[in-house]
Each structure stands twice: as structure tokens, then as C-alpha cells.
Copies of this chain bind each other. A is one copy, B any other.
């Protein structure tokens, strides 16, 4: 499994992904699930993947190859005129990779499935954040639904729902993501550190702060250890129930 979150804030976008892949609990590996492309000053993209590793690696490789050898017939991430067209390109590529494995079987039942979060900005348009499905279609984050999760989404959702605020600064957003990932990692063996973090500041037109968070990262340890105590204190602070 996997856990990735993309947050849309007034200040920009924040992405976090884990790195654990597993084919059974006895075949566990570490793979980067966050990828990025940019032409500084003109466009920046961050892409995170959940699902079949062969599928997601193929999608990323195809997007890379097309960037290196663009043709007139096929747009590339680095030439797409809009974020919408960039998302269409990623969705088409994802659908084609899955179709090649499944000979047209319905996508929702195959083990070759994958889901993608794509965020970024092209100069002259606002930052955008998309969730792209195995069928190649996609939805965009809006005010009412300002973040996307893929993979093992449930454990880490309650704190996102409650503490997200679109006006929050990047440091607070990273703290929120760390808490959400900590809740997930403690509950599910298929999600694990190291984590990858990428910040994109709106209208900067270049990738911002990034970091690989290892298990011993002091900020991560402080959040992870502190959250247990904070949760218990929060629980203690609630009124007692009269039986």
C-alpha cells in the first residue's frame, strides 16, 4: 500500500508521500512515489502515485521520455498549454499503461491499477491540484474539497478533516501532514518512512522547499512522540460520561 496527500492552500501546494511498496508482507521495498518536472519561471509539476509499482513506474518513464523526445502529435508535460491538458496527458498515459496489461478488462477490477495526484502551476494560470483515476479521468481540488489522499487514506483522514485550514502557512501544513502520516504509519505496516515532502509556493513558478524525512528526523520524532501525548491529553480534557 501507500499513503500520499496533496494539500491546496492559499499560499500554494504541499505534497507528502511515503516510500513503502510491498508485494506481500515478506517482500517490502523502498521506492520514491513523488516525482517532479519543471521549467523554472514557466511551469512546475509534482506527481505522486499509489498502486501497482510496474504501472506507476511505466507512467513516469513514459512522461519522462516524451519530455525528452517531444513530437508534434503528442503534447508533453513541459509543453502542455494548461494544467488541465497536463492532467489529461497523465490520465491518458495511465489508462494506456493499464489497458496494455489488461487487454480491455474493466479497469476497476485489475491488480494493475494505480491512482495519481498531480499538482502544479503553469505561468499565467493559478496552481491546480488533480486526482487522476485508473480510467484516465480526473477531478480537481476546490474550496470544498481542498486536499486529495491516495492509498491507505482512512487512518489519517480525521485529523486532516478537522485541522486543515486553507490559510495555514507551510510549516503548519507540514506539521498537519506529519500527524496524518504518523496516524497511518502506526496503524498500517504497508505505509512507512522515509517520507518525501515537497512545497510549492503559489506563483513562484519553481519547486520550493523539499525534504526526505527519515525515521530519525528530529521534527518527525517530535511530532510523532508529541502527538501520542497530545492525543491522550485531548482525550483527558473531554468531559466525563455519566453512566
Residue ranges of A at the interface with B (Cβ–Cβ < 8 Å): 154-155, 157-159, 161-163, 170-172, 174-176, 178-179, 183, 186-187, 199, 209, 211, 219, 222-223, 226-228, 230-235, 237-243
Contacts and interface: CB of A to CB of B under 8 A. Distances in A.
B199 A243 contact: yes
A158 to B, nearest CB: 4
B162 A228 contact: yes
Given A157-B187, A171-B242, A223-B239, 5 more contacts: A172-B240, A175-B238, A175-B240, A211-B243, A223-B241
A202 to B, nearest CB: 16
Count this chain's copies in the assembly.
2
Given A154-B155, A219-B241, A235 B175 contact: yes
A87 B96 CA distance: 50
Given A154-B155, A187-B157, A243-B209, A238 B227 contact: yes
Contacts of A238: 175, 179, 222-223, 226-227, 230
Contacts of A239: 219, 222-223, 226
A123 B91 CA distance: 63
A240 B233 CA distance: 18
A175 B241 contact: yes
Contacts of A240: 171-172, 175
